[in-house]
Structure formats: C-alpha cells, structure tokens
Structure 1
Amino acid sequence: MFALVLEVLALTLPIFNQIVIDEVLVGYDKNLLVLVIGAILMVTATQTLIGLAQQWATIKLSVNFNMQWAANVFHHLFRLPIDWFEKRDIGSISAKFSAVDVIQQTLTTSAIQALLDLVLVVGTLSVMLVYSPQLSFIAIAAAVGYIALRFAWFGAFKRAEENTWEASTQEESYFIETVRGVLSLRVNGTLPWRESSWRNLNINRRNAHLYEQKLGMIYNTINVTIVSLVSATVLWFGANLVLDGLFTIGMLMAFLSYQGRFSASISSLIDKYFEFKMLSVYNERLADIVLTEKEMENVPDTLGLPVLTNNSIDTVIEFDNVFFSYGKDQPYILNGASFSVKNNEIVALVGPSGCGKSTISKLLLGIYSVTSGNINYFGNKSTASKSLRTQVGAVLQEDQLFSGSIIENITFFAGDLDEEWLVECARRAGVHDDIERLNMGYHTLVGEMGSSLSGGQKQRILIARALYKKPKFLLLDEATSSLDIYTESFVCQMFKEINTPILMIAHRPETIASADRVLLMESGLVQEIPNNFKQGN
C-alpha cells in the first residue's frame, strides 16, 4: 500500500513541471504558478511522511525477521553432530553463520525495494507510452540491453564474490587460530613466520576484493556510458518532435523526467534480480548448516531412566560388542569392545595414546553413534539423549570455561543457584580454598577459556561443575592430569567417598591406583587387568 501511494505521487511531479513550462511561463500566469508550487509542496510533504512510514515498517520487518531467523539457525547449528564441528574450522563456521545476515538483508530490504521499483517501472512506462510510443521504445531497448549486459557479467561477478568470501574466511580462521595459540607461538619463537603467513592471506583477501572492485568499476563505466547514450538519443528524437510541433517543451521535459525515473528503476530492478541470483554464493554456505541433520533428530528427550539409588541397579554402563569407525572406509577404532561399570565402583580405562579411549567417552555421551553393538545405560537398552546427559557428569579433555564468574561456570549459568551445594562441590574438587584466596572469591570473573586461572584450577572447577549436576554417573577423561600429586590424591579420595559410579580415562599411575578395577584398551578391544597395573607410557 505504501509503495503504491508513493509511486502514484511520484508520477505526478513531472506533470507539474510540464504545467509550469507550458502554461505558467508561456501565459505569464503567476496565480497558476502559486497553485502548482503549493501542490508540489503538498505532494513532497506527503511523499516524505509516507516514505518515513514505509522505511520504519521495513526496518521493523527486517529486524524481527532477522532475529527470528538467526535464532533458528543458531538453535540448529549447535545441535549438529560434534563431528560436523571437528571437520570445520571456526572461521569457516562463523562465516557460514554470518551468511544469514546477507540473505536476510536481500530477502527483506532488497525485496521491498524491488517491489517499489516494479511499481515505478510499470507506472512510468505506462505514462511514457501515452506521451510517445517511439521514444518509449528507445528506453525499452536500452533496458533489454542492460539485462543482456548483466547476464554477460554475472558469471565473473559470482566468481569474484566466491573468491572474496573464501579469502576472507581463510584469513579469519587463521587469525582466530593465531590468537588462540599466541602463547605457543611466543614460546617457540615462531611469531615472525606466523605473521608472514597471515600477511599472505591478508594480501590474498585484498587482491580478491580489489579484483571484485575492478570488475565493478569497469562494469559501471560501461553502464554509465550506455545510460548517457540513451539519454542523448531520447533527447535528440524528443527535440525533433518539438521542432516538428508534435511535442511541447513541457512535454519533452516531463518525458525526460519519466525516462530518467524509468531507467533508474528498471536498472535497480534488474540489479535486485541479480542480487537474488548472487545469493547462491551464500545459500550454498548456509546450506551446510541448515541442511545437515541435527544430532539424534528423532530421539525423544525423555527416556524414562530409573532413579539410581545405592545398589538399586547393579550395572550402570555396559558396552556390548561395540564396533565403531569414523566412516565407511575408515578402520575400526572399537572392534567388538565389551565392558561394564558397576554401581558405586570406580573403573580406570587405560591404554596407549590414540587407541580410542576418548572415543569411548564420546560414544557414552551419544556424541558419536556406534557402528554396531549396544551401549546400555542404567540397565536399559537406550540411546543417549538430552535426558541422559542431565544425569551424567563429564569432564572431557576438550572441556573449557566460559567468560563469566566462577559461580556461573560451576553452575553452568543455571538460573537457580544452590549456594551451599556450590561451595560443597568446590570443596570436594579441592578448589574452594583457591577460590577464597582470589580478590572477589566466587564472583571472580574468568576470561575466555579460563585464561586467568592455572591449568589445575581450571580442571578442579570443571570437576566441581560436573559434581554440581548431582550426576548418577561420572565420566572423567584425563580430568586430573594437571594436578599435583597431593591435590590429585585429595580429589581421588573424594571420588571414593561420594558413592557415584565413575569411569576415568587416565595415564597417571596415581589416578589408576585409586580405581577399583582397571580396564586396558588395545587393538580396539577392552579387557580387565589386575588392579596393581601401572601405566608405563
């Protein structure tokens, strides 16, 4: 509605110009001049108000649409399988997610502008045909030529856009990786090499962007030249119509105004069409997110797991002839592995580095799916899901802290805070005294990835976070590897006292010695060994 009113008003302005030239100036009619100027001011004021209303409506639509769409993509993204993230770098994922903004901008703002252009094209062309079909044909022929020009250049523009996107993504990924690894780079004296590599990526991005700008510059030069030639052609034939007495000067000025509006609107409309075609560059990237199936899409959230009390269930976790590989053509990491964890016992899982111990932890949590075989939870043959993860406390090698206070990290930003239980979990993890010595205690802010804390403090806070869930089962993957022997002994003793079944993946003899049973993983199989086993690697 806004678009229709705006364009109708826009179509009246050239007519006012014609009246001024043909009636006011020729007839020296000052009264008519006052009326015409008054009408122009009223139309302009109305256009301004309606234009503001239309822009505000567009902004609100754009913001609301983008917020909901971005939220939906975010929701989907972080429910994709973990191996999807493991196969992509952070910069690439970030760039693909950012494609939402580009697509949204085109589908809202550009789509509305395209509608306005379409209305104006139809309106101005209709009026132009009334004035002169011959002159209108020149404008139509120019529009067809512009369409042909755009089609001819589209492939080059698309390739340039793709190259710029790829170069920007590579540079961003490299930059993020460099920031994360700045300590290693400084310690090993490799910052100059890293900086040189970044410069090359930065130059590649700038060259790709420069090439895209060069294409735009050449294209715009050709386009401006064509527009100027078309305007000169229309003026030539229009002036001849005036000289032949078929047009008045006012009619010629009005037609030139309509022709200018038509050319601008048809060019904008064609550009918008090719903007939509160019979205394929971003659609392909975003499709990698939205078309990937979410983790366990069809698994219900509630498994009806039993409440675990002492001695109520004998076997808490059971691997039954489990096979696993990362792909059809990949070797098996697990080759018929079978073992169990009983209620209230601590089981240590040991084995050479890279043999697949951490893979077992991810299979237990449902992060990976078994190739064949079964994993039974709490006496049930069930598939891991959200409800299971709420009952399992886990500390994995990849676990990290988040920006926020220590309280927020232990409670994992939970809304309802149980302060007494929070402190008790910190005590059990042996980190309470360390926290109390900090200036702000539990309110101390933790930097990204816990950068303000030592490695041992981070691990103990992660253990406290796992305990805060009041889990039925604990899964620990090298959870005490950064602790000194005394602190580790304290934490391991705590594990014995909490009467919670635990599977701990470990290398250190002190950790292994605290277990009730020791399992050795080797060649894809798991077997029990004597409890006095001491890990040698």
Structure 2
Amino acid sequence: MPKLKSLLQTEAAQCGHACLAMVLDYYGREMDALELQREFPSSMRGATLADLIEVAQAAGLQCRALRIELEELPLLQMPAVLHWDMSHFVVLAKANAREIVIHDPATGVRRMRMREASEHFTGVALEASPTAEFRKRELDGGISLRHLVGQVVGLKRSAAQILALSLMLQMFGLLTPFYMQWVLDDAIVAQDIPLLWLLSAGFVLSMLIGAAIGWLRSWCLAYLSARIGLQWFGSILAHLVRLPMDYFQKRHLGDVVSRMESVHAIQNTLSSSFIEAILDGLMVAIALAVMASYSGELLLVSVTALAVYLLLRWATFPTIRRLSEQQLAAAATQNTHLLESIRGIQALKLNAAEAMRRATFDTLMAETTNLGLAIQRFALRLGMANQTLFGLERVLVVGLAASAVIDGRMSAGMLVAYLAYKEMFTGGVSRLIDTWISFRTLRVQAERLADIVLTAPEETGGGDGPDLPRHRPLALEVRGLRYRFSGTDPWVIDGCDLSVAPGETIALAGPSGCGKTTLMKLMLGLLEPDAGEIRVDGRPIHAIGLRRYRRAVAAVMQDDQVFAGTIAENIAFGCETPDPADIEAAAIAACIHDEIVRMPMGYQSLIGDMGSALSGGQKQRIILARALFKRPSLLFLDEATSHLDMDAEHAVNEAVRALRLTKIVIAHRPDTIASADRVLVMAEGRIRGEYRPAALPGASPPPYARSGVAAV
C-alpha cells in the first residue's frame, strides 16, 4: 500500500499546491519541495478550490468537490484535501469516528480528536484519483548534501589531518585494556614489581602523548568548523541575494532567516559527527575482532542488545522527524511575528495593539516551546530505554564472563580487558546508530536550506555585445508585454506597448492597482514577463545582461530602504571608493544638500531603517540622491516625491527635469505629472491613452472613452 509523504510548503501561500503535490506523490508521481516549486508555481494571493481542480486535472487526476459534515470524513476516499480554517488546505490521511490524521503543509503531520477538528474544518473537501492519462514518475535522486555544502577550500586537507590525529588517539585508547590485563595476569600474578613500574611508566607516557594529540585534534576540529561556517554561509548568502525578486515576495522574512540558520545545524553535524562516525566505525571493527577472540558467546549478547536498540531507534525515527519539522516551522512563524512587531512598532503603539500582539507572540512561543519539550521528553524516554537495555546487557555479560573465569576459560585480566572492549564496542555502535539517525533528521534542515540553494538565481549575464552607453539618454521600447503572478491569476499586465525616446520624460498615470509599479519592475528586470519584449537602445534587456543594464539605470521605488550607516554611505551605496564631490553633487541634485550640512555631523550622520531622526521626505530625497549618484542614462521614479511638500516637490521635479537623461515616472500629483513631456494613462494592465501636459495649460486632461481610465 502506498505511503502518504508529508511535504511542507516553502512559500507563504503555497498550501493548496503542496496538498495537491502530496496526493500526486501518493499515487506514484514523486514530489519534493524543489519539484513542487518548479511544477506548481503558486500565487502570492493563494489558490481557490477551483484553481486546485484545474491544476489537478492538468496533472492527470479526476476530482470531486464535496460539502460534507465532520462525521462523514471517514467515508472520503483518502488522501483527500480539506479546506481548513477558512484560508488553508490540509490533506486528510486517516479518519475514524474518534480522530483524524492530517498532513498540514505548514506544520507537518498532526493527529487530533474530532472535537478539535470541528474548530478548523469548514465542511469542504476534495477527492482526487488518477485517470488513464496519469503518469507515474520517480525523482532522479534526493537532495545531495554535497550540493548544499558546495566547495570548501582546504576541506580535504583539514579533514585528513583530523582523521590522522583521531586514528592515533584511538590507538592509544585501544591499548588501555591491555594494560589492565598485563598488570593483573603478569605483574600481580608473578609479583613482578619492576614489570609493574615499567608498564605504569609506559602507559603514563602514552596518556601524555594521547592528551597532546587530543588537544591538537580538538583545535583542528574547531578551526575546520569555523572555516566551513565562514565559507559556506558566505556562499549561500551570495546565492540568496542573487535570487529573483519573486522568491522574496512569496516568503515571510522570518522563514527565510530560519532557513539560513539551518546552515549552522548542518555545519555542526558535518564538521564533528561525520569524522567521529568514521572513527567509531574503525574502533567498533577492532573491538569486535578482539571480543570475538575472547568469547563468541559474550559477543552474541552485546550484538543482540545493539540490534534491539537499532530497531527501537528505527521505529521512533518518524516521530522524531515529525516533531523536528513542526518545531522548525513553529520557530519560523515565531521569528516572522517578532520581526514584524519590531518593524511595525509605530503602528502597534498608534493602534494600542501591544497587548494583543504580545498575546499572539506568547501563543506562538508556547507552541514552539511545547514542541521543544516534546522532543526532549521523547529523547529522555529513549535515554531511559538505552540505559535499561544496556544495563541489563552489562549485568548479563559480567555474570557470564565471571562464570568463565570461575571455570578457568578466562583469566581475571581477560575479564577486565573484555569488559573494557565491550564498553568501547557497545558505546561505539550506539553512537553510530545515533549519528545515523542524526543524519536522517538532518534531512529536515537540508530540505529547508534546499529551498534557497536549489532555487535558480536570476540570469544577470548577457551576450557579447557592448555595454550600454553611459552619460547619454537611452531609448526604451515595450512590445506586447504580459505578466501575471501565477498561471491561475488574472493578467496584471496584458498586452502593454509603449516607447520612450532618448531624453524624454514619461509619466505613468492611472488608478491604483492598474499595474504601474508592476510594469516598472518588469522594465527594471526585477520580474520576468510571461510574454513580450523590453528593448533598450534597440537591444533586449537579457541580451544586454541584467547586471550591465542595471549599472546604466537607476530607480527610486515606493518601498526602497535606507541602510544602517552614514548618509554618505547611503548615497554612495554600492560604490567602494566614492568621491565626496560626487556624493555632494547627487545630494544637491536631489535638493537635500542644505539640510544635510545643517546636521551636526553632516554627511557622516548615522541613519538606518529604524531609529533615524530623518523625516519621510528627507529619506526619500536621500534615496533619490543614491539613484542620481550612479549618473544613470535611464531613471525610474515610482512616486519618488510622495512624502514631500508642494514647494520641495516642485524643486525636486525641476532639478530632475534639468538632468540630461531619460525618465519614466509614476505619479498621481499634478506637479510631477506636469513636469513630464508625455503622460501615459494605464488601465486594466495596458496603456489606454496619452496626452501632453503642455498642451493643456491650467486645464484638466480630457477623459478617455475606454472603461477603467481615471482622469489625471
């Protein structure tokens, strides 16, 4: 019978598609998080039941939507998709009259009583089964840790050094039982005092050498761990910042931070447990051979106890994995809530919502803590079982070994040595089992990190053509542009065409939500169009290369941020060796210079996205100065003067208008619109008309006949 695999969503609004992927996997079309993201791109707005049915039918499933009562859940064909909490989807795996088991793409596997389920189930369910067109498929392979780790410079050499030191340390440890045997059987029996002192001196020397080797190994291990962490975290961060904007728009900030923190968990396991597992394996092999030479009967007792322990860990692994998944998901939600509370502290205070926000955070924190306690409680039970099992094994081995000594089949020294080797053997094997379970549990962290590492970065390269000319205006042309957030969403941009001549200033106007900002993001290369083409100076953007294109353009967007640092560092953002004269010139052009020099520290005044004494208008002009510092040939402004008073707005508009470059402006305010050469009116995702402000002095623009066009 096929097994239903739990698959967690990687995006904020991906629950419906994740549920559908679990159903597909159950019927033989294997899915993982990466395949889910590639095959079922979700919308930032979520999915309706109709959307899921459409996608399921395209994948070869026949669906039946039902409205049922809670007590009818056991009658469903499982796995079935349930509508949950009015805004979520889960998969029903099992159901009877008392309880149900669901696979929640947000938290993992959950078992709950019918009374608890009644608080969440909305009464809507979706049955799905394969049709004749359904095709099974196996994935090429799992997520490779090597792929996640990548190349770490000096890893092989450092690992070889640590391994060599560890081998020497193990050899000294394996000699210790022989010391006890020789003292008991040779020195004491023969009453040979010189031999006793010789053995003692030899083993004191070996202990000192072993201590030195142990210290050296620990230092090498700490150095290797730090080196792996530095290189690996840096390379993953470099990959993260190269991901497309679409990746960040679909995820919560706390979830992205939580996935990055998975690096440390994987790093600690790989840098220590992996090498220790190799050494434990070698020590176990040697101890096994020595124990077999002493007594096969005693060895069988230890092997039986270890087999029972292995079965116990194997049987409890699914529970450990489930609890780990739930704790990571809960911790990510808690982090998101905390970050949102800190960033939105002003809104919290203005709405007197501190107590409500604190109560929600306490609930999330309690959930995370309870899951952590559940993991600890489970670990304590395993520890108690381990202690009981190997305590019984130890008593039985000592009894059988003592009988062998009494019968003359073993000497007292052999008994002591065997017991020492037995502890090495059972301890080594149990650590190997625990490490193996840790590696399997580590897959939970690896799958979370894979959402970052295995997501393709945006294509920033280009052809072999020349760079865009600097310090002269550029022409821009858009033809047949179409874009929507997902395959089930309506078109945000639908057949948009426009052209901008070199040096021309174009204003995009229209009602809020008509697609102006989305169009600007497409022209900046932040979003990838579904159809159509954007050409700059007659060349497609991707033929130029996004990196080269962005060096020639600049933008001020609605949600742009200033960064922690000085005003000068923010204006010269991205330039390692800026010229102070260029910084000052950009500030003058943005009409912020006079206000900066009146500050006590001038351009060295510290600012940031929080805790800054700057007004909204000052921040906006510093961001504009940052754009002008690049000396772009093409400038995009998305309501860049929305926080300014009328006089300041007019001054900025006149200063920007005097610049010799091509400008595309989104605006609603009359002064900014009046500064444009042409105004393009957008509605329903396309350009519906245009007019020239200069042709309408002191008058309102004419209305446009087509629906959805607002007067500007």
TM-score by length of 2: 0.73
Give aligned-pair identity as a percent: 36
> Paired residue for 2:420?
257
Within 5 Å, give how 1:7-156 maps onto structure 2. 7-156=170-319
- After superposition, give the CA deviation of every residue in 1:5-32 in whole Å (9 maximum; x if it has no partner): 2222111101111122223333333222
Q: Of residues 439, 444, 463 in structure 2, which corresponds to 1:276?
A: 439
Q: Does 1:420 align with 2:548?
A: no
With a CA cutoff of 8 Å and minimum separation of 6, indicate the structure with the bigger relative contact order.
1
2:647 equivalent in structure 1: 486
Question: Do the aligned partners of residues 449 and 86 (structure 1) sit closer, same or farther apart at CA in structure 2, a change above 3 Å counting?
Answer: farther
The residue identity in structure 1 corresponding to 2:493 is L
The answer to whether the 8 Å contact 1:325/1:333 transfers is yes
Aligned partner of 2:367 among 174, 190, 204: 204
Q: What does residue 379 of structure 1 align with? A: 538
Deviation at 1:138, TM superposition (A): 1.2
Q: Report the 3-state secondary structure (helix = DSSP H, G, I; strand = E; otherwise coil) of the residue aligned with 1:448.
A: coil
CA contact (8 A) 1:478 1:505 kept: yes
- 1:189 is matched with which residue? 352
Deviation at 1:4, TM superposition (A): 2.4
- Separation in 2, partners of 1:162, 1:387: 42
Question: Paired residue for 2:705?
Answer: none
Question: 1:287 — aligned with what?
Answer: 450
2:400 aligned with 1:237 = yes
For each residue in 1:363-405, what CA deviation from the matched residue of structure 2 results, as whole angstroms up to 9, or x when unmatched? Answer: 0111111111111112223325010001101001121011111
Maintained 8 Å contact 2:515/2:684: no
1:104-134 deviation digits (Å, cap 9, x = unpaired): 2222211011011111111111111111111
Q: Secondary structure at the match of 2:541?
A: coil
One-letter amino acid matched to 1:388? Y
Partner of 1:441: 602
1:322 aligns with 2:478: no
**Kindly tell me: are residues 283 and 301 of structure 1, through their superposed partners in 2, closer, same or farther at Cα, counting changes over 3 Å?**
farther
Structure 2: distance between partners of 1:302 and 1:463 = 32
3-state SS of the aligned residue for 2:475? strand
Count of residue correspondences: 533
Q: Does the 8 Å CA contact 2:673/2:679 hold for their aligned counterparts? A: yes
Partners of 2:535 and 2:291 in 1: CA distance: 77
Note the 1:170-181 alignment, pairs <5 A.
170-181=333-344
What 5-or-longer segments of structure 1 have no aligned partner? none
- Name 1:307's counterpart in structure 2: 469
In 2, are the aligned partners of 1:18 and 1:250 still within 8 Å (CA)? yes
Task: Tell me by how many angstroms 1:190 deviates.
Answer: 1.1
User: Structure 2: which 5+ runs fail to align?
Assistant: 1-163, 702-709
Q: How does 1:386-465 map to 2 (within 5 A)?
A: 386-448=547-609, 451-465=612-626
Alpha-carbon distance in 2 for matches of 1:13, 1:318: 81
Match 1:528 to one of 686, 690, 695? 690
Cα deviation 1:446-467 (Å, max 9, x = unaligned): 1235733110010000010000
Contact (CA 8 Å) 1:397, 1:478: kept in 2 or not? Answer: yes
Deviations 1:152-204, CA, capped at 9 Å, x for gaps: 11111111111111111110110001100010010011111111100100100
Corresponding residue for residue 227 of structure 1? 390
In structure 2, the residue matched to 1:471 is: 632
Cα separation, 2, equivalents of 1:31 and 1:452: 82
CA gap 1:302/1:528 in 2 versus in 1, 3 angstroms: farther
Conserved? CA contact 1:7–1:123, under 8 Å: no
Counterpart code for 2:556: V
Query: Within 2, Cα distance between the matches of 1:139 and 1:54?
Result: 30
The residue identity in structure 2 corresponding to 1:103 is I
In the alignment, which of 328, 351, 356 is matched to residue 165 of structure 1?
328
Structure with higher helix content: 1
SS of corresponding position for 2:310: helix
- Contact 1:303–1:382, Cα closer than 8 Å, also in 2: no
Contact 2:470 2:632 in 1 (8 A): no
Answer whether contact 2:405 2:411 (CA < 8 A) is retained. Answer: yes
Aligned-residue offset at 1:511: 1.1
1:301–1:47: structure 2 CA closer, same or farther, 3 Å change rule? farther
CA contact (8 A) 2:471 2:632 kept: no
TM-score where L is the length of structure 1? 0.96
Distance 2:203 2:674 in 1: 92
Paired with 1:353 and 1:381, the residues of 2 have a C-alpha distance of: 29
CA distance in 1, matches of 2:494, 2:576: 43
CA contact (8 A) 1:238 1:252 kept: yes
Partners of 1:142 and 1:134 lie apart in 2 by 13
